[in-house]
Structure 1
Amino acid sequence: MCGITGIVGQQATAEKLAAMLRAQKHRGPDATGEFVDSQTTALGHNRLSIIDLSECANQPFTDYSGRYVMVFNGEIYNYLELRDELRDRYDFVTQSDTEVLLAAWTIFGKQMLPKLNGMFALAIWDKETQSLFAARDRFGVKPFNYTVKDGNLYFSSEIKAIHAAGIPALPDEKVWASYLVYGDYGQPDETFWKDIKQLPGGFWLEWQQGNLKTGQWYDFVAEVKKQPQNLSYEASKSHYVALLKDSIALRFRADVPVGFNISGGLDSSVLLAMVNDFAHGHSHINAYTFYTGNPDYDELPWVEMMIAHTENPLQKVLLQPDEISALAENISFHEDEPFGGIPTLAYAKLFQRARRDGVKVLLDGQGMDEQWAGYDYYVKSDDVTIQGVAGSPYKPEVLSEAFFRLAEKPVYPKPFDDDMRNKQYRDLFYTKIPRALRFNDRVSMAYGTELREPFLDYRLVEFAFSRPVDFKIRDGVRKWLLRDLAAEYLSDALVFAPKRPLQTPQREWLANDLKPFVDICLGKIAQSPAGSWFDRDRLQKAWQQYQDGDQASSFHVWQWVSVALCV
């Protein structure tokens, strides 16, 4: 887990590269590396050492022929298996997954990508052909942002690094308008900043002599259709459990301590059970959870109930309202774009605590709801994408008419023949998972920690996605098969605990404890370039209505805060 950056073209200078590396140094506090071929290419790397902690594994990494130079962010979990496959065809000099990845490129080229089980964003410079190849993992766990300016390609893990190279930080008003009107965080290739794109998950990029090409290397729909269709319920459960255990075992590969994040939900319960099953009963693996001291929202009672069975050391991290202002400013710097409100701030504190404890890798339970149909709106006939909110969570009426007209309602593909799987597909590639992965990558890297999501192993997602509806929902109970396998490890109180869509008192805090903070944010908007986006009177009226009790949702208030923090 690291940060990568680069420039290809006549602007590829050591000075610009150094500025880009400084901007995202928090991603890799253990080492900084540079490769500069003036006016041709400059590649940089901020390293967080996880596998093979020696200097031999530092990047940029050059293959033994000297032809290829690579920078890589992420982890290749099946690198040991790939290393065995390549052993007779490549002379390895390190124990790193980095070298295995570059070796696979020298032998297989682009065809190496389907062989990889991991999270990654990589860029490989070919000195012979003077070309750059880049790629991103299947679900876009690791970021890859890029822009083309005056015939030069700039890329980085974080947007601020591109701005540090001299690219102007101009808001993309269409993306911002769509966010404020529809809650859309952008299409898979968009960012909130003008002329800066992201490479979508499962895509590759090629750059040669000023020409840019992108293409898709991972076709999720095709892979789902290849899954076995006639397996019984019990056979499906057995196969899924085997995949799940293997996924967790792969994600325990690290040369540093590993812990995990836990909430009171079913997914975390399964993760806890499987982690301890993998660890053969040892209970020394740290678990991290947050709470706010508000019993209406805190999941701490369920977490403590789970931990009572396994006796893992539980690190309880308290978030209080007087921390929010400073924490929001700090995390906004790291996020570069709007993020998910106070729950994201609470989540950030887990990584801060883990790093202080010397734990550099954390596992998380992201991805189960999307593959096993865990959200209530999967069985409804509307286009809702937020659980637990009655009515619209947005307030487009506070926008100026000219800005409102810039918004585009997102339209999502529907590649499957049933409505539920199309909603799952939307959440997996366009809404829930992409934004959660972005939020989580930024907050984990803010504190120099690595986050791994075993439930997003592509084998698990493809297989679960292809299962019949009655494996996912039975008698009105969602995530049925997952609850069934969890029952082998957990009590019924945990297996059938209701899903709680809200984990912090964000609604109440914004109206009360954080009222001065929101007032300051609205004042900043008025003095910023975003001031013209709003009708000031209607904005103040909506804010007053919120304080007076119109709190069915707090999402629109956090949107305003996001504008103030980012623009």
Structure 2
Amino acid sequence: MCGINGLFRLRTSSMANIIQTMNVALNHRGPDDNGVWESELGLAMGHTRLAIQDLSHDGHQPMHSACHRYVMVFNGEVYNFEEIRQSLSQKYFRGHSDSEVILSAIAEFGLERALRKFNGMFALAIWDKQQKTLSLARDRVGKKPLYFGRSNSNFCFSSELKALKAIPDFQPKLDMQALGQYMRFNYIPAPYSIYEGIYKLEPGSFVTLTIEELSSKTNLLEKCQKYWSALDVAQHHFTHPFTGSLEDAQSHLTDLLEDSTRLRMISDVPFGVLLSGGIDSSLVASMMQKQSSFPVNSFSIGFSNSDKDEAHLAKNIASYLGTSHNELYVSGQDALNLVPDIGKYYDEPFADSSQIPTFIVSKLARSKVTVALSGDGGDELFYGYNRYFRNINNWQTSQKVPDILKRIVSSQLYRYGTKQKLGLAASKYANEIGATNVLEMYMSRICKWVTPERLMLNPKIPAQHKLLEVSALNLPHPEQYLMLYDYLTYLCDDILVKTDRASMANSLELRSPLLDHRITEFAWSLPMSMKYQESKGKHILRRVLDAHIPNSLTNNPKHGFGAPVKSWLNGPLNDWAEDLLAKDKLEQQGIFNCEKVTSLWSDFKHKKKKYHTQLWNMLMFQSWYQNQ
């Protein structure tokens, strides 16, 4: 895994020193090597390397193609590079890294066609010397990050925002619409970033820019293209379902999982698995151990004095599989030591509280391995979240109530909420009751602040384009809308951001077999009856897992690597929170309604309301703002 960055500037002297400073900011993503390349046209690119495939200098980047036409910086892994290598007409390679194969495939097939052949997680930038164009691309699901945009007259890109701050005249400005998105979801969805004019390249996308476009005010988002559209592919598979039996589906899914895991175990460095004890990570661990001739390293954490501690589940499964298990117990003091600085790892406000245990388990894993596999993706693809069941039940009940009555009740609740200081519950129920489709109702369930603009002093109403795009589809089942929306937003911009930043901060590469696009597409084709039965999701995954691990070890409620935020804020993190939410600090910032924020904190402290979820959202913004 690596870090990439680049800069285009007109009328400038050598940019090598700037790129090298940007590389330093990304050193945690690639501590093994770094490189800089500069053209005479004002473009320069940098790379920091975490050596995984071909540890020799032959894997050094920026990398030039054998035909001398292209220069590339690449972050990630293309797992099927050996298969692609065999399809290339030109088979001369200096080493055996996937980067050489990727560059050769682009040279032979062209960028878009090559991207469709890649099975992996990646972000890349490639300069075409002949056409004088710069192209950026990102993998189908968005495992690897890529920011791009303009600051003053500069075009820039990077794996993380912190590298852009090394540009001498970079002047970031807070994007209030993006902040509103963050307040709603705990994260900022692509293509937006916390800074105006800087964007995230969306998953499955690429953009190609000429010299003129790099130096002009061309609308960058309008130039982006899709080589793989989750919306189109999902709609096709949802409406053309798998017609075989459950046994046929189970057999095919098992084959896909075994092959996906096999590909992600290809490495020239030690590897392991993050094992939470849930269905997804246990399935990945079992597939790994089945294909390994030695005990696979497994890693798990628990929480001292917490009802969220499930380390014993992971330990029992590890014992059954015969992995070499490693566990660590986390205390409130461990969180206290980490939380004040967590904002600097994420570059943007980010408030999924499991960021802390994910960081800690990544650090634990890095003490023994350089690559680890995880179970991310199972919930979104196989109907795994409990909130799906609650939302569908509420939606079905809602359909029995006359629309006019729902509108009246919703309107009354909203008016009541506006008269309250916070009105969080009233706003939530007003939106839920007044929802016109299943996704609108789902929004009231997943939003931390249903109406964040009521808390902000200068709000901009957040755009909801993905909500509209998914709602506009004609899908057979209401459950499919929820899973697809989460795949497009929560998975990419929360789960995968969390795991990328936490793992890369510790120079650990994290791979996710369940997010192989072949599994994604097959999962979308499965009838809902194969995903849930008897009020339980992941039905077919459970059947696959039962063939590898006894049901008695895996049939447990699961929280993943969750975090006991409420007890932390009531205990070891209380003073930290008190400082960040101090009245004078809020007034000086001029971003939030000071009276409402202090009321929120006061109600929590005096146990009038829970509010710990909303408070964590506020606190992680405050922590980020203070760091930045």
Q: Alignment partner for residue 515 of structure 2, among 435, 438, 456? A: 456
1:280-299 aligned at under 5 Å gives the runs 280=293, 282-283=294-295, 285-299=296-310
Aligned-partner Cα distance in 1 for 2:460–2:206: 33
Name the structure 2 match of 1:372: 382
Task: Output aligned runs, 1:196-345, within 5 Å.
Answer: 196-211=198-213, 212=220, 213-224=223-234, 225=236, 229-280=242-293, 282-283=294-295, 285-345=296-356
Per-residue deviation, residues 260-298 of structure 1 (Å, max 9, x unmatched): 101121112211211111115x32x21111111134111
The 1:406–1:530 alpha-carbon spacing in structure 2 relative to 1, beyond 3 Å, is farther
- Which AA in structure 2 matches 1:53? L
Q: How does 1:460-475 map to 2 (within 5 A)?
A: 460-475=519-534
Task: Check conservation: 2:587, 2:594, Cα contact below 8 A.
Answer: no
Alignment of 1:86-101 (within 5 A): 86=88, 88-101=89-102
How far residue 528 of structure 1 moved from its aligned partner, in angstroms, is 6.5
One-letter identity of the residue aligned with 2:100: E
Q: How far did 1:527 drift?
A: 3.1
TM-score relative to the length of structure 1: 0.93
| Counterpart in the other structure of 1:113 | 115
Question: Which residue of the other structure, out of 558, 561, 564, is the alignment partner of 1:505?
Answer: 564
CA deviation map 1:357-398 (0-9, x unaligned): 2x10010000001110011232322668999x9897438689
- Percent identity, please: 29
Out of 253-262 and 21-30, give the one that drifted further.
21-30
- C-alpha distance in 1, partners of 2:478/2:530? 16
Residue 394 of structure 1 pairs with residue 449 of structure 2: yes
Q: Which residue of 2 aligns with 1:177?
A: 180
Q: Distance in 2 between matches of 1:177 and 1:480?
A: 37
CA contact (8 A) 2:72 2:126 kept: yes
Once the two structures are overlaid, the 10-residue window that deviates more, 264-273 or 410-419, is: 410-419
Q: Distance in 2 between matches of 1:390 and 1:251?
A: 35
1:257 deviates by 0.1
* Secondary structure in 1 matching 2:127: strand
How far is 1:497 from its partner?
1.3
1:321-360 Cα shifts (integer Å, max 9, x gaps): 2233441233311210123444211111122222222x10
Q: Which amino acid aligns with 2:55?
A: L
Instruction: Kindly indicate whether the alpha-carbon contact (under 8 Å) linking 1:416 and 1:422 is maintained by their aligned counterparts in 2.
Output: no
* Structure-2 residue corresponding to 1:145: 147
Q: Deviations over 1:90-147 (max 9, x none)?
A: 4212101000000000100121111000001011111122111111000111011011
How far did residue 507 of structure 1 move?
A: 1.0
Partner of 1:430: 489
After TM superposition, the structure 1 stretch with the greater mean CA deviation from structure 2, 334-343 or 539-548, is 334-343
What are the ranges of 5 or more consecutive residues in structure 1 without an aligned counterpart?
none
Match of 2:4 in 1: 4
User: Which ranges in structure 2 are unaligned for 5 or more consecutive residues?
Assistant: 214-219, 396-431, 433-437
Mapped contact 1:474–1:480 kept (Cα < 8 A):
yes
- 1:151 and 1:210 in contact (8 A); partners too: no
Give 2:410's aligned residue.
none
Task: From the superposition, tell whether residues 427 and 438 of structure 1 become closer, same or farther in structure 2 (CA, over 3 Å).
Answer: same
Alignment of 1:35-46 (within 5 A): 35-46=37-48
Q: Which residue of 2 aligns with 1:154?
A: 156
Alignment partner of 1:435: what SS? helix
**Distance (whole Å) between structure 2 residues aligned to residue 195 and residue 464 of structure 1:** 36
Query: 1:399 touches 1:534 (CA, 8 Å); kept in 2?
Result: no
Q: Which has the higher helix share?
A: 2
SS of 1:51 mapped into structure 2:
coil
The 2-side partners of 1:80 and 1:378 are apart by: 40
2:613 to 523, 544, 555: 555
Quick check: 1:398–1:535 contact (8 Å CA) kept in 2?
no
SS in 2 for 1:440: helix
Q: Distance in 2 between matches of 1:325 and 1:540?
A: 22
Q: 1:36 to 1:203 in 2, by over 3 A?
A: same
TM-score by length of 2: 0.84
What is the correspondence of 1:122-137 to structure 2 with a 5 Å cutoff? 122-137=124-139
| Contact 1:530 1:563 (8 Å CA) reproduced | no
Please say if 1:539 is aligned against 2:597. yes
Give the secondary-structure state (helix, strand or coil) at the position aligned to 1:204. Answer: strand
Structure-1 residue corresponding to 2:17: 15
Deviates more, 1:469-478 or 1:186-195: 186-195
Deviation string for 1:468-491 (max 9, x for gaps)? 010001121211111111111222
Q: Does the C-alpha gap of structure 1 residues 551 and 402 become closer, same or farther in structure 2, counting only changes over 3 Å?
A: closer
Q: Partner residue of 1:446?
A: 505
Q: Deviations over 1:154-182 (max 9, x none)?
A: 000001111221322322111112322x2
- For 1:352 and 1:270, how far apart are their aligned partners in 2? 22
